Amino acid sequence: MFDGLKDKLSKFRRDVEETAEEKADDASEADAVDDVVDDDTSDGAVDDDTTEAAVDADSNATAAEPASEPTASSDGTADIEDTGSDAVPTEADDSGSSEPGALKRAAAFATGKIIIEEDDLEEPLWELEMALLGSDVEMSVAEEILETVREKMIGETRKQVETTGELVELALHDALVEVISVGQFDFEQRLAAADKPVVIVFTGVNGVGKTTSIAKLSEYLGDRGYSSVLANGDTYRAGANEQLEKHADNLDRKIITHEQGGDPAAVIYDAVEYATANDVDVVLGDTAGRLHTSNDLMAQLAKIHRVVGPDLTLFVDEAVAGQDAVNRAREFNDAAEIDGTVLTKADADSSGGAAISISYVTGKPILFLGMGQGYDDIEPFEPETLVSQLLGEE
């Protein structure tokens, strides 16, 4: 799952690691050369001073015109006043052959640390941005990830036991979790705390797997001790009743239906009445596939909300739809506020753009991933688990 995105994140880690360590090695070599030059200069100064002292002593003994005037001392002997004309200037220590950043890096590296600088990240971050966009990550989400990585890495120092790669991984982990976890809540905890029956309505465009997701969620709830009733609020699509009835038969669930063309709000209302009378825990209501621009269908959804007052409205779309799924999620949330998302066909998606982006752009969490064709093939969405998988931590 999301193997393409996983490979691109791994490449970013390798690129930063190689860039930082190459520059650390270069800085260490440059600093070593400076030390050698400084030692040579220091040795030469001592030799010159010694030689010149000898020359001066000889000059004072034999020169016809001494360079200094004699002066009388308190003990009557003649002293030579040093005019400074023969003084040997002392060279300032020139340690500027390496840039300060490079010296800082070399010093840190020598003491077992790593420093990440902005130029280490410039090219890898650009490549990461292209990789994220190429994986259908929404642009504002990609920019947020890059900014978080930049903030967490530039100027950071870590002990050598934490390699550059581990530092990159930590920054990526935090950046990804930050965007994926927006709005996240514990579905089972909310379900347990809610008054029964809990009413969950499913919406989205045609053909993305709403009806199958309802059946899968019914099985998921049954495995955890919750009873459920199915309600076919998709009263306009030919064959919708038959499709949901087949799932109900397979799962041994009660289904509430009306004749084709009936009022969807009335169907779901009747399902709530049935659940209340029979101590059923959850009502799972299907609705017609719609676009956010379908005024009549959006009005129907608004009526369901007025008549039934569902506890949760879940948007369903395909993970493989990528950027299209992200855009539709935003549009549905704007038109008729959703509470969370179910992404189908996640097992077939190598890009991961929808899973990375939807929570951030809607402010509402992804709650479940559809992972296959069986009724058991649905998983709770766990941001930490997904990020660990993407970064190869598991």
Distance (Å, whole) CA 331 – CA 340: 13
Count other Cβ atoms within 10 Å, centred on residue 270: 16
pLDDT score, position 76 = 45
Short-list 242, 176, 217, CA closest to 6: 176
Q: Which domains does the chain have, with CATH numbers?
A: 3-50+100-180 (1.20.120.140), 187-381 (3.40.50.300)
pLDDT score, position 74 = 45
The residue count of the chain comes to 394
Backbone angles phi, psi at 27, to 5 degrees: -65, -40
Question: Do the Cβ atoms of 121 and 154 come closer than 8 Å?
Answer: yes
Q: Which two tokens stand for residue 157?
A: 């120092």
> Which segments of the chain have a pLDDT < 50?
44-55, 57-98, 112, 160-161
Residues whose CB falls within 8 Å of the CB of residue 354, separated by 6 or more in sequence, listed in order: 136, 317, 318, 319, 321, 322, 323, 325, 326, 329, 343
Q: Quickly list H helices, 252-366.
A: 264-277, 295-307, 323-335, 353-362
Distances (CA, A) of 58 to 38, 64, 66, 348: 31, 12, 11, 93
Name the DSSP class of 81.
Answer: -
Residue with tokens 């002293």: 79
Backbone angles phi, psi at 165, to 5 degrees: -60, -40
Residues whose CB falls within 8 Å of the CB of residue 357, separated by 6 or more in sequence, listed in order: 136, 137, 138, 141, 179, 323, 326
Short-list 85, 80, 55, CA closest to 68: 80
DSSP-based three-state secondary structure for 341: strand
Distance (Å, whole) CA 232 – CA 268: 7
